[in-house]
Structure 1
Amino acid sequence: MKKIINLVVLVPVGIVLIVLSVANRQSVRLALNPFNPEDSVLSVSAPFFVFLFLAVIFGLVLGSFATWVSQHKYRKRARNEAHEAVKWHTEAEKQRVRAENIPSQALIPSKSV
């Protein structure tokens, strides 16, 4: 089922990316100097689809980082609760061993007549 869903999603995305690449293969220049756009030191020439893909990748990385930062409090809480669960599990194991070491005669109540 997962393979079918991946095919239904990834095949159209792949087709769109190929169409974008073919349609936008003309060379463009990205000038990073706003005061002198003809400055060749701060400009890059590449096919337009390269800049499109770089923008998409940059957006994915930036969005992933923002999500990771915003979920910090949940990861911290999960870490603290996992540490506390280990502490309580260790304590329960100590108590179980201690209960096993108590002589069985001590568990039987004595009858006083």
Structure 2
Amino acid sequence: MDIIIRLFLRLKSFFHTYVNINISNDMTVPGVITPYGKMVYFSSEEKKIFVKSLTAWEMDVYLLLLEGYTVMEISHKLHIGYIVANKYQKSICRKLKINTRSEIIMNYRDIGAG
């Protein structure tokens, strides 16, 4: 199973590839491989629900992250401290079920503000 997932993650196409991954003999999970090779298990509708769960401040930071701003640039632009902006980013990642700032751009660019 690990080998199959690694092969899918290495795929780099310009279209989303919809796949079914067998987790075990009796369980199959639908997934999407993004154009960047990242495996995502959430549909567009699920992502929109995640984005709508963000607070107003988190939404401001989220939109700036989508534009490619760094946390330091966001803190200056929104006139908040770096630590506060970083906490918002961590909260956003937790709510959107991702790990890094680059995953926000890769997985949520097509969703935008929801």
State the TM-score bracket (shorter-chain normalisation): under 0.3
More strand by share: 2
TM-score computed with the length of structure 1 as normaliser: 0.24
Higher relative contact order (CA 8 A, sep 6+): 2
Return the structure number with greater helix share.
1
For the pair shown, the structure with the greater C-alpha radius of gyration is: 1
What is the TM-score with the length of structure 2 in the denominator? 0.24
